Chain A
């Protein structure tokens, strides 16, 4: 599958853009041309440390659209997490990582009359390329951006410089609140909503929109959470007759990869459906952390998205 073919990249530039957030500019090590990407796309960055530990984290692409010579990503260092973003933050200019080709699961609706973008914290990253595109095609758009403070919110100044009063920033250190229900109640017919940020913020924004009578077709969101931790358990692979231990901080997909099992994936965030796997037997309950399966599929208990979800008991048998 082409999307999981890896391309070696060198870090050409690192810029601190906010407290705990760095922008990385990546160029292909072999100088080969990069693929064009559409606004809202992400790549998966594959990092390996000296001890062979591996992380694969998805990051949204920023920077210029159209024949890019480099890809840009912004990385928030998440302490006390699985270590991928911390590792990324320790890398110097010149270091090498690998990336997958871009995939877009958060596209602009081209038929929208207006685009309302809502970001919380690092959730601004996929919206950066969208804003650039919307601005270049003279679309009607506005951005509502929630940050803890100016020093912790990336690109605040740049956004205001570029897009002027189309950008409104809400600083929680000053007690500024986004009255989303009022904003949503006053949008022209044909407005589409795009939300990115912490899960709680996305849920709140989408629920508020539904309560204001917005149809599902106009609601778009993207969330890149690390796979939630849980108890350790054993995954039994029925077809290859193997048993692999999944650690408390690991996803099933990561445990499989660590043991050389090449399972399909695209987004690693429970959104795309690529890693859907059949469950043959389980001890305990499935903990579904994806937003792909339907409620009926969750209840049936015979499917799992192995990039995000786990089991509460000691073992899980998969059709792999």
Chain B
């Protein structure tokens, strides 16, 4: 479980089908696809028929095509980047009517981007049903130079933009879909704390 004392740290209660939704837009990566398949099995074929899955293929096992097969009769669209999933999701939500439900399962950067795209189209972030699966990697924004750092697994992390050594806080921005990275040794840059692999 992803637990923090910081209240802005998102929580992911788990995928639950909304059987009344007229259509379902489901975002997942390969680890998250297992949660989606469990939800589809629980909800039945009618639910799956009303669903479109956007599957992020990160070239890991199991192969995306076999996952797509297991999610039938839902339609699956394979993407290779989070950004292209977010763009397609936003495009489908633009001009949509009430009654469409968004789901996201997998790593936090993927869930965060899906929630961000949904929010930008008027959906309350709490209405997006989410489940964390797989890697603990994070998207981190350097609060100093605003560089977005993808796939962060270590803490502290060096900002590739300004070079500052950042402590990765649990302080999360839904607007940016990123955790905040704050300089850890501003007083004495020669002080370099040991790096830990915290978010594998």
Contact = CB atoms under 8 A, between A and B. Distances in A.
Do the two chains belong together in a single complex? yes
Interface of A: 111-113, 184-191, 210-218
Interface residues of B, number: 18
Contact of A214 (B96, B98, B126): B98
Contacts of A186: 97
Nearest to A112: B122
Contact of B124 (A212, A213, A218): A218
A147 B136 CA distance: 55
Q: In this complex, which of A113, A190, A217 has the most chain B Cβ atoms within 10 angstroms of its Cβ?
A: A190
A203 B31 CA distance: 40
Task: Tell which of B18, B101, B122 has the most Cβ of chain A within 10 Å.
Answer: B122
Contact of B97 (A185, A211, A215, A216): A185
Majority DSSP secondary structure for residues of B touching A: loop
18 contacts: A111-B122, A112-B122, A188-B98, A188-B122, A189-B96, A189-B97, A189-B121, A189-B123, A190-B123, A191-B122, A211-B20, A212-B99, A213-B22, A215-B101, A216-B127, A217-B127, A218-B98, A218-B127
Interface of B: 18, 20-22, 93, 95-101, 121-124, 126-127
B126 A217 contact: yes
Given A186-B97, A189-B93, A189-B100, A213 B126 contact: no
B97 A187 contact: yes
Contacts of B98: 184-185, 187-189, 191, 212-214, 218
A130 B95 CA distance: 26
A284 to B, nearest CB: 36
B177 to A, nearest CB: 17
Given A189-B93, A218-B127, A213 B122 contact: no
Question: Which one of B18, B22, B95, B98 has the highest number of Cβ atoms from chain A below 10 Å of its Cβ?
Answer: B98
Most buried by A among B20, B21, B22, B93: B20
A113 B127 CA distance: 15
B97 A188 contact: yes
B99 to A, nearest CB: 4
Nearest to A116: B98
Contacts of A111: 122, 124
A215 to B, nearest CB: 4
A210 B21 CA distance: 9
B16 to A, nearest CB: 12
A191 B99 CA distance: 10
Contacts of A216: 127
Contacts of A189: 93, 96-98, 100, 121-123
A208 B104 CA distance: 26
> Which of B100, B101, B124: most chain A CB closer than 10 A?
B124
B20 A190 contact: no
A215 B121 contact: no
A190 B18 contact: no
